[in-house]
Structure 1
Amino acid sequence: MVLCNRCKRETREVPRKTRPCVKLNGRPCLLCQEDMDLEGKIQELQDRRRNLQTQMNASHDPFILTFHPEISSHILLLSMQEWDYDPFHGLTYWLHDQIPQRLPTPFLLSSICRGWRQLARSTPRLWTTLSFNLAKPTKVPLFEAVRDWLVLSGGLSLNIWICGYKGENPVSQEMYGPVIDALNQHSGRWQKLFLFMPAPFLRHFHGSSAPSILYDLYVNNCPVREVDGSLPTFRMNFKPSPTNLTICNIRLSVNDIGWDNLTSLSMEGMAFNECIMAIRHAPLLESCTMGEIASDQGDLSIPGTKLRHPRLRTLDLRFVREDLFIDLLHLMECPTLEVFRSESRLSHVMVDSLLSFLNHSVSRLKALELLAQDQDGLDVEGLKNLLNAVPCLQRLSLEWTMYDAEDPDDLLQELSSSPPILAVGTPGFLPHLQPLTLSLCHISKWEYIPRIYTWPHRKLLSIEISAYETAIDDDTHIKISQLIDQGANIRILADGKDYFSYSRAHVDKRLLEA
């Protein structure tokens, strides 16, 4: 019941924004009464039409609303997009605050009609991934939207993706406090938790109960530094034991994380001693990535004994200083290491330390990826010594793009002249190599590439070379083209374009014009 705008009496009709009738001392006159009656009939017709449209949608929908609800719900689940499950997919870290620009698929499904909305809202699995940033919403209050989403997800496990907001209208502390508190009440259902935000926000994610199903934990302090220049420590009221852990620009305490289940660890902007202690406390660790390691901080001390890790299979070092790179490899032994990646300045000393690390680890390395960021490029002679130490290598990727870097001709020559087994019974030069990826400025001896495929054990070798200069002579060009026609997996990229596909199309065009 509401008050009429004209007579201020209770009525069931929807009030209109018009002036009250003043002809009969506030009581509606005949004309006003007739208008009120028409308004009531309009409202009744609108209600009837909405109900009719719902029935029409259900009658005309040839699929969703005609199936059993369980089948219809499964069809809605199949319509979910990849970014519905991974909102950070395809976004670089500085674009994470653009998540809300894409309306989640469950909202789109709910907007079709009333039947679809009821079906979507009664399918909890549609609402298990919650993503938003801390910007003030334009329509629905953030707290109400989050609370609704949590209710719709039922008691299922939750994947939560939240990032800070660098725009002009971020949420206030009064607004984000209740939102984060609501999420904390469901910490027992956290399966994936991705937090990309400044430290003052991170401190609020402490949880209310231990998430026994927490699988992925991603915590990134951005911006990096606090007011006093130190890194914050991320703590929860419980001790999370994730399987995959990523921590960026956070002080690490070994007492705050359960390491027993950890198989994948990524650390960026961490102190060197904290990285070592983290690896030491994770007995099941299989993959480790470290980037932009800083000097020692805090009270953690590094034991002098070797760190032998029997399960580690992938080690990835990114932008690590020369002294820390050497110290790290000197401390570690990884007998099961299969993949090594480095995106750093690779000096002669660093290549030597990597060679020593592989030798004393007695590893059977299968993949090697090196991105040399040095004005002198990569030491080709040192690289050859390194590759001779890993005869089981199957994948090799090298990148050095300085113009005055050495040509990789010696590497190509070794591949073209080495049999699978040498005369003394030892393996030849990389006999098991299959994909070879090179990214560089120039190559002088392109004729080595056709020679590589004269060996039977090189027939399955795939070669991809990205070069700024592709000065290939006519004879070599013909030989490589013939190999490609015969099925050899050879790609030469010039300025991002496939050189042989482009040149062949250009020749065909000239022939047609002639």
Structure 2
Amino acid sequence: MTSPTTHSCPQCGSGLVQGTHPQSRDYLRHRLSELNSLIAALNAERDALQAESDAIVYPVLSLPPEAMAEIFEHCVASKTIPSPSSAPLLLTQVCRQWRQIAFATPRLWKSLTFQGRVREEVINMWLSRSGNVPLDHNVETRDPSTLGVLLDASLQHAHRWEEMAFVIPFSSMRRLNFGDVLLPLLRKISVDSDYSYKGNIVSHPIVIRNAPALREAHIGTIPRRKFHLPWCQLETLTLRTISLIECLSILEQCSELRNLVLFRASFMSGS
């Protein structure tokens, strides 16, 4: 029995069985057979490519998770700004294995720089992923409400503060009164103003008392500054825009000081 001859349809170019209407049963069966054959061929090609892909072993995926976590740590910048285009968030987008390792490595989330406004859920997410490791946070904001949200969340983890830096409005300095806060790991503190103060300046004391590990302090340009720090513990101190009288008053209390940096020291009174 001979197979029916086919001709191309002038409208769509598909094969037509001779003597049949494009919508006849024989034509439809013939087209279904052609399409099924094409699907089978494509499936076979896909399976072959998948098998070839599965046979490829990427060396980086064969490393132990501990080694991958160590490599990931070197990908994180010292000033980590939450962004999907940089580590650690970028690492979570590569593949499922990398995402699991990144989420299970608290050290990737210990450092954080907040600039401008930031959502509260981002703060809480970052802090929760940092587990119990010491924290290194850098706060740069002119928005008092953002500072309030950050401090309210961060103070719940104050026992893990290791390095903290603040560049904030002078009017918000009152939020840096940590006199009653236990800071057992705090090793370094940096405080500066964003120079946004105008008119009459009301002095707000910056207080840190319960920080037995504090060894380094950097104090920027803050008018009428009033700092209550454990000066006798400090080994490194930076003072900016300060009168020599005020400087000498501080240095008299720094019995363990080894490194001192002064910027724009003058004979003028700092008050």
- TM superposition score normalised by structure 1: 0.38
For 1:131 and 1:58, locate their aligned partners in 2 and report how far apart those are by CA, in whole Å.
40
| Structure 2 equivalent of residue 131 of structure 1 | 113
In structure 1, the partner of 2:175 is 204
RMSD of aligned residue pairs (Cα, Å): 3.1
1:207-222 matched pairs, under 5 angstroms: 207=178, 209-222=181-194
1:123 corresponds to which letter in structure 2? Answer: T
Whether contact under 8 Å (2:162, 2:188) holds in the other structure is yes
Correspondence 1:67 to 2:63: yes
CA distance 1:61–1:258, shift in 2 (3 Å):
farther
Shift of 1:241: 5.7
SS in 1 for 2:192: strand
Is residue 209–residue 229 contact of structure 2 (8 Å, CA) maintained in 1?
no
Deviation at 1:109, TM superposition (A): 0.8
Q: Deviations over 1:266-287 (max 9, x none)?
A: 1112233221111111111111
* Letter of the 2:130 counterpart: S
In 1, Cα distance between the equivalents of 2:101 and 2:162?
25
Question: Tell me, what secondary structure is at the counterpart of 1:235?
Answer: strand
Aligned to 2:234: 262
Q: Which residue identity is paired with 1:69?
A: P
Mapped to 2, the partners of 1:115 and 1:57 lie a distance apart of 17
Q: Aligned equivalents of 1:57 and 1:253: distance in 2? A: 65
Equivalent residues, number: 218
SS in 1 for 2:186: coil
The question of whether the paired residues in 2 share the 8 Å contact of 1:134 and 1:176 is answered with no
| Superposed counterparts of 1:173-188, under 5 Å | 173=145, 175-188=146-159
Give me the whole-angstrom Cα distance separating, in 2, the residues matched to 1:205 and 1:59. Answer: 58
Aligned to 2:30: none
What is the SS of the residue equivalent to 2:94? coil
List aligned pairs for 1:371-450, cutoff 5 A. none
| Cα displacement (A) at 1:72 | 1.9
Q: Which residue number corresponds to residue 75 of structure 2?
A: 79
Alignment of 1:54-453 (within 5 A): 62-80=58-76, 84-86=77-79, 103-135=85-117, 137=118, 142-165=119-142, 171=143, 173=145, 175-207=146-178, 209-223=181-195, 225-229=197-201, 232-236=204-208, 238=210, 242-250=214-222, 251-253=224-226, 256-294=228-266, 295-297=268-270
Alpha-carbon distance between aligned partners in 2 of 1:182 and 1:287, rounded to the nearest angstrom: 33
Change (3 A) 1:132 1:104: farther
Q: Name the counterpart of 2:46.
A: none
Q: Which has the higher contact order (CA 8 A, sep 6+)?
A: 2
Structure-2 separation of matches of 1:222 and 1:237: 25
> Does the CA contact (< 8 Å) of 1:130 and 1:161 recur in 2?
yes
- The SS at the match of 1:267 is strand
Equivalent-residue separation in structure 1 for 2:205 and 2:167 (angstroms): 14
Quote the offset at 1:76 in angstroms: 1.5
Corresponding residue SS for 2:89:
helix
TM-score (norm 2): 0.69
1:296 partner amino acid: S
Give the Cα–Cα distance (whole angstroms) in 2 for the partners of residues 59 and 176 of structure 1: 52
- Unpaired runs of 5+ residues, structure 1, are 1-52, 88-98, 166-170, 299-514
Q: 1:261 to 1:274 in 2, by over 3 A?
A: same
Separation (CA, whole Å) in 1 of partners of 2:190 and 2:131: 24
3-state SS of paired residue (2:269): coil
Q: What amino acid does structure 2 have at the position aligned with 1:67? A: L
